Chain A
Amino acid sequence: MHKGCGMAPKKAARKQTKTEPSRVRVSEARPGLDPIEAPGRYEATREELTEFYRQMLLIRRFEEKAGQLYGMGLIGGFCHLYIGQEAVVVGLQSAMKEQDSVITGYRDHGHMLACGIPAKVVMAELTGRAAGISKGKGGSMHMFSVEHGFYGGHGIVAAQVPLGTGLAFAHKYKGDDGVATTYFGDGAANQGQVYESFNMAELWKLPVLYVIENNQYAMGTSVNRASAEHELFRRGESFRIEGMQVNGMDVLDVRGAGDAAYDWIRSGKGPLLIEMMTYRYRGHSMSDPAKYRSRDEVTDVRTKRDPIEAAKVLLLEMGETEDGLKELEKIIRAEVNEAADFAEQTPEPELKELYTDVLVGSYG
């Protein structure tokens, strides 16, 4: 980096990101579907955008470190990295309220960090230690924190979708004005239980936001090879669930859509479906050589659509300095390194721990 890069750009720094026409696609109006207005991009202050940037960078550095620990044999088995998709959880989480709940599948580390769960207890779960958030018994795909409104962490593709629907029922039943954000992938979108959930959610007007993180590949199978209707935001229409398709690589687009969606759901109109167009840079899991796509395709997304780089460009335009961002990066790296050291050094659970929490009591 050249000297002087840390100086603010010459043009006057903006206080807020620009108002732009909506890039969101929505379900077309037809009888039985409430018309939904395409939401605009969120107009963030510099402080807000800095916080989005920080969270996205934390997720990325955390995942890179998890990948390293996996390579060193400290994390075993399965480890699905979220790199590339950071804007989705960060943008949506920022639009949520205290009482809301979140549930997702197995690619869950980013969701947990976005929920505010400390990096060290997530990393310690990955290494199977007693200090891990599930006492080392769950591992990468199976983590929970009721305190942070995070309901897992589910290893079976799409199994969380009916559960998220049930969370929404409970929000409505208790009258707590909460919304259950239920994340799943483009692959999960073909499981039958998703559609059982859609039907119940609309029938009972449940406060649930279904978020399809369309990262284009269900393991090695691209969306087009597995889905007859590959515009996944339309998948709810026959259940009268309105859909939006959002650029999930832009944290402000995501936040804008999130605001509109949560307002809509909290007004009592029932469920909503958002298809987040995103991309995972790494393989499906650590053992995936990703031969089903070209290296150029990945490089192209990384260089042109990276959510963290995009936020960085905006921040610099708004008056943030390179030095300021470097400082932030340093703090994040320290946090991640500390989490990794902790996860490596803290002990495994006691053997008898395997028998706890199978049932409420102990038998036999």
Chain B
Amino acid sequence: MARMTMIEAIRDAQDICMERDDKVVVFGQDVGYFGGVFRCTKGLQEKYGPQRCFDTPINESGIVGAAIGMGAYGLRPCVEIQFADYMYPAYDQIVSEAARLRHRSNKDFIAPLTIRMPTGGGIFGGQTHSQSPEALFAHVSGLKTVIPSNPYDAKGMLIASIEDDDPVIYLEPKRLYNGPFDGHHEAAITPWSKHELGEVPEGHYTVPLGSAAIRRAGSDVTVLAYGTMVHVALAAAEETGVDAEVIDLRSIVPLDLETIKASVEKTGRCVIVHEATRTCGFGAELAALVAHHCFYSLEAPMVRVTGYDTPYPHAHEWDYFPGPARVGKALLHVMETE
């Protein structure tokens, strides 16, 4: 098996899909000639030509809208929005068109597109290059929203997304592109080449959308996380010595409720972690579901560790970012409460 970064895995997934199906087209800002701002489409234009991998002007609404039209007429577009923060001009097309086309046309028309977006902070991007907008998509019925946390999943989930007949929002935590970032920003990052999940099979495989993965089995407390926060939670468990069961949700819609339920019923405690702001973040939905389904198993109130309800700041990025210290504090806190 090859060792890959998440960037290479994402590139590889698109390559495989383009190779297998000539209806797959890949486009976005700087995606063709330049190979993508994060290099996730490097070499695809050279290999498949400018008809299948191409640059667009800077017009997110146009990119997504055109992709929906292409999908309705039988193509399978995979588009890149350069940063998730740039998505808002396209939000109307995503919500009013992509998410609704199938339902209102009685499935005469589908929107089999994948929208890739780098997401999350930790790169000093300030308020317009650091956001985590997953809850804005999860709130819209008719979309799937997925967030891989490692190269293996990144490739398998992207192939599954492109092959899926529904519109999939595929969020790429940019802090994870080159290694399993655990929130210790002062330390050098371990590259994916030294991590077991950096091992990526060659060729075609899929990771089904809607299946969670248990990254660390434990008996004391269940941690629900996705994306970068999976690695932060793992670090927090090690540093505090709390025997946490860390669940990587991978996909927030559809959600693997069975895995969550089984774990919370076992541990009786639950900590929910995400980078996005707290109010109406996806953690609120998770807390509601756990409260409903696992009420009689809970031995302590659930705790959410999230970004603050403020715009993402330029200064104090590492105070804002819910790092291992804050997650660790929450783990110790739920272990103390009854």
Q: Which residues in A have some Cβ–Cβ distance to B below 8 Å?
A: 76-78, 106, 125, 128-130, 134-142, 154-158, 187-188, 190-193, 218-221, 225-227, 291-292, 348-349, 351, 353-355, 358, 364
Contact = CB atoms under 8 A, between A and B. Distances in A.
Contact of A187 (B34, B58, B88): B58
A138 B33 contact: no
Given A77-B125, A142-B127, 20 more contacts: A76-B124, A78-B126, A125-B314, A130-B315, A139-B126, A154-B128, A155-B85, A155-B129, A156-B85, A156-B128, A190-B59, A191-B59, A218-B29, A219-B34, A220-B34, A221-B30, A292-B34, A351-B316, A354-B319, A358-B309
B289 interface: no
In the A-B complex, list the 3 residue pairs whose CB atoms are closest, starting with the nearest.
A77-B124, A155-B128, A139-B314
Contacts of A348: 315-316
Interface in B1-45: 29-30, 33-34, 37
A137 B313 contact: yes
Contact of B86 (A130, A156, A226, A353): A156
Interface string B290-311: 0000000000000000001111
A165 to B, nearest CB: 16
Contacts of A138: 126-127, 314
Query: How extensive is the interface on chain B, given as a class?
Result: 20 to 34
Given A142-B127, A220-B33, A358 B314 contact: no
8 contacts: A135-B315, A136-B315, A221-B34, A225-B33, A226-B56, A227-B57, A354-B316, A354-B320
A351 B123 CA distance: 19
B61 interface: yes
Interface in B116-162: 123-129
Nearest to A291: B34
Interface string B41-63: 00000000000000111110110
Contact of B29 (A129, A140, A154, A219): A219
A139 to B, nearest CB: 3
B58 A349 contact: no
A291 B35 CA distance: 11
Nearest to A130: B315
